Chain A
Amino acid sequence: MTTKVIMANDLLSGDVIFLSRDSRSWTKFLDQAWASDSEQLVEQMLAAAQDSHMIIGAEAIEVEHDHTGLALTVFREHLRSRGPSVRTDLGKQAELKQAA
């Protein structure tokens, strides 16, 4: 079993979001995401997310652990989690840069 996070879009903002470590709220940042390698737990969390009317398109997405923490393995999802590569002043990557 690989490690997975729950990734979705927020209904109001459209932002890409992750289920948080508290497994109840949602966060915009992968480093604050809930992750599990239990297939059963992932399925439970995914079903709960899909039931929420404020969340769109919840999916379980594979991650790996690297020196920075969690990392998305597919380039498309990596882009989704950050923002357009051609406008690094926009999207979550810009917020992360500001916070740093």
Chain B
Amino acid sequence: MYRYDEFDAEFVKQRVDQFRDQVQRRVAGELTEDEFKPLRLMNGLYLQLHAYMLRVAIPYGTLSATQMYKLADIADKYDKGYGHFTTRQNIQFNWPKLNDVPDILEELASVEMHAIQTSGNCIRNVTTDQWAGVAADEIEDPRPVCELIRQWSTLNPEFAYLPRKFKIAVTGSSNDRAAVKAHDIGIITHKNENGDIGYEILIGGGLGRTPFIGKTVKKFVGKDRLLAYIEAVMRVYNLQGRRDNKYKARIKILTHETGIEKLSEMIEREFERIDKAQGELELAELNRIESYFEPPQYSSEQDDSTALQQSLEANEQFNYWYNTNVAKHQQPGYAIVNISLKPIEGIPGDATSAQMRLVAQLAEQFSLSEIRVTHEQNLVLPYVKQADLFTLWQQLEQHDLGNSNLGLITDIIACPGLDYCALATARSIPIAQKISKVFADRRKQQDIGKLQINISGCINACGHHHVGNIGILGLDKKGEEYYQITLGGNADENAAIGKITGPGFSKDEIAGAVETVVNTYIENRQTDENFIQTHSRIGDVPFKEALYGPN
């Protein structure tokens, strides 16, 4: 993992002191709320529906056990005993008091964490594949690039006041688990015919009220010129992006209105102006950062799969969990363990302080003290020996964390919605709970297979409903919550925006409507075809007819 150097530590400390002073001035009446609001937002502090909400950055979703213990302590000491893992690999606390926030930030700083770049019109926390550094299909660990971008973007005065917020995601594998095509900049790692590693750059992806899939603007840029290219994109956006209308200010609108060819030319011109010598410095810094992400000392013990096989044969539940939640590791004898935060009828992404401590303890015991947060609102233990899997699973089971549903219909992504969010127009969580109850049966879930449901409580789309195989958007219709369904969305390397089926459904109807969609899939699917494949083959019409009747 990356460790703070003296500059990082000093910078974060200064920000805490600065914010403590700002809070004191606000409470004393020396700052108005209008003056204070942008300052608190720069430190991740929002005012939500019932209380303040503090969003803490988890850079590229990587956490140490020590950091997870600290998050659990903060949840108990300053909040209400739980936290919410978000669709951008961060964590939110829903009930902090204003005067406590500087103390919370100080506690976070003690474990090299902060809440910077989690709000405002800046470059936000860079996200990536939760299996970075361990995925069997990986070309390169994407975290050093994420860290390089984090360091370059933090406090970069040129990009402190962008037209709008800016989100960057990186994948080190051609199998995209970071939804890079739904980001302002998406970075895909490639290896060319010479064996050199470089990056494809996509721009203009984004969800919200005007969803777009990102377009490739550069097919291959080398390591030494990556940051220069990103800088060129940011400069063009900073100059050309609209500032007169916040709904048209994201780079996706600029890309759409300007056209990718013309924008590409503008970026290339800017790119050429950037001193190539800068690349050597950046490469040296990237190499320095890479040293923090060296693969760990894996155990040299021979893998004994016999015990694992015996446990799999002897215990059906463990077998099911293994097949659902455990992924292939790049190191023989190891496994990637995915911990689902989606119990049946639970709140997607919520974890109690006790669960956080258990995960931290399990990470210490079984995963070289490292944890990942996923944009699907789950957790990952990336370095588990296969021989430890059964013992680990037993402990997860005991603490309600052994949910065997990764990638299945009950692994629902949902924003906090109107239960917490001041922007929301409808609730998301109760809808996720209802759907999860309808499909609670394990065999039914297994039979349905891979299917991603995403729920957003408003058009801002924090639940990423546009790229859900089944997307649900909650809206307000004359004071009543109602829900639109979209079908055919996809967040992976075949990214697509789902299409609206037709009129929405009430909160009491929506779970039934989803069941109708799923039944239509089951009736029409061919052997081994998952939902999105069937939808792609037969189109919307059979689903629409099932939902609304012929014509």
Stretch at the interface among A18-26, A35-43, A63-71, A75-83: A75-83
- Which residues of A have CB within 8 Å of B77? none
> Do A15 and B47 touch (CB < 8 A)?
no
The CA-CA distance from A56 to B480 in the complex, in Å, is: 27
**Residue B248 is within 8 A (CB to CB) of chain A in the complex:** no
- Residue contact A84 to B50, C-beta cutoff 8 Å: yes
The reply to whether the CB of A85 lies closer than 8 angstroms to some CB of chain B is yes
Report the stretch among B91-99, B172-180, B182-190, B491-499 that lies at the interface: B91-99
Known: A12-B98, A13-B98, A79-B419. A86 touches B49 (CB 8 A): no
Q: Which of B29, B51, B429 has the most CB of A within 10 A?
A: B51
Chain B residue nearest in CB terms to A76: B418
Q: Is B433 an interface residue (CB 8 A)?
A: yes
Residue-wise, chain B 138-156 has the 8 Å CB interface mask toward A (1 for contact) of 0000000000000000000
Number of A-B contacts (CB under 8 A): 65
Residue among B47, B49, B97, B99 making CB contact with A79, cutoff 8 Å = B49
Q: Contact between A85 and B49 (Cβ–Cβ < 8 Å)?
A: no
Bound-state CA distance A91–B52 (Å) is 12
Q: Which secondary structure characterizes the binding site on chain A?
A: loop
Check A14 against B32 for contact (C-beta < 8 Å): no
Name the residue on B nearest A90 (C-beta): B80
In contact, A90 and B95 (Cβ under 8 angstroms): yes
Take A75-B479, A86-B419 as given contacts and tell me if A12 and B97 are in contact as well, using a CB distance cutoff of 8 Å: yes
Nearest Cβ on chain A to B416's Cβ, whole angstroms: 8
Interface members, chain B 462-499 (any A CB < 8 Å): 476, 479-481
B274 within 8 A of A: no
B51 close to A56 (CB less than 8 A): no
* CB of A53 within 8 Å of the partner chain: yes
**Are A15 and B50 also in contact (CB < 8 A) when A74-B479, A86-B430, A90-B95 are?**
yes
A32 interface residue per 8 A CB criterion: no
Asked if residues B47 and A85 are in contact (CB atoms below 8 Å), the reply is: no
The distance from the CB of A26 to the nearest CB of chain B, in whole angstroms, is: 15
Docked complex Cα distance between A15 and B49 (Å): 9
Contacts of B347 in A (CB 8 A): 86-87
Q: Which of B347, B419, B476 has the most CB of A within 10 A?
A: B419
Q: Are B99 and A84 in contact (CB under 8 A)?
A: no
Q: A13's closest neighbor in chain B, by CB?
A: B97
Q: Quick check: is B427 within 8 A (CB to CB) of the other chain? A: yes
In the assembled complex, the Cα of A14 lies from the Cα of B23 at a distance in Å of: 13
Residues of B within 8 A of A84 (CB): 50, 419-420, 429
B280 CB-CB contact with A under 8 Å? no
**Quick check: B52 and A85 within 8 Å, CB to CB?**
no
Does A9 make an interface contact (CB < 8 A)? yes
Choose among A73, A86, A91 the residue that contacts B50 (Cβ–Cβ < 8 A): A91
Q: How far, in Å, is B27 (CB) from chain A's closest CB?
A: 7
Contact between A86 and B418, CB atoms less than 8 A apart: no
B47 partner residues in chain A, CB cutoff 8 A:
9, 14, 56-57
Interface contact A14-B51, CB-CB below 8 Å:
yes
| Known contacts A75-B481, A85-B427, A86-B347; is-contact A12 B49 (Cβ 8 Å) | no
Separation of A53 and B26 alpha carbons in the complex (Å): 8
Given contacts A53-B33, A87-B347, 20 further A-B contacts (CB under 8 A): A11-B27, A11-B98, A12-B97, A13-B51, A14-B48, A15-B51, A53-B29, A53-B32, A57-B33, A74-B479, A75-B418, A75-B480, A76-B49, A76-B418, A84-B50, A84-B420, A85-B419, A86-B347, A87-B419, A91-B50
Q: Which residues of A contact B (CB under 8 A)?
A: 9, 11-16, 53, 56-57, 73-76, 79-80, 83-87, 90-91
14 A-B residue pairs with Cβ-Cβ distance under 8 Å, sorted by A, are: A11-B26, A12-B27, A12-B98, A14-B47, A14-B52, A14-B96, A14-B97, A53-B33, A75-B479, A76-B476, A79-B418, A83-B50, A85-B427, A86-B430
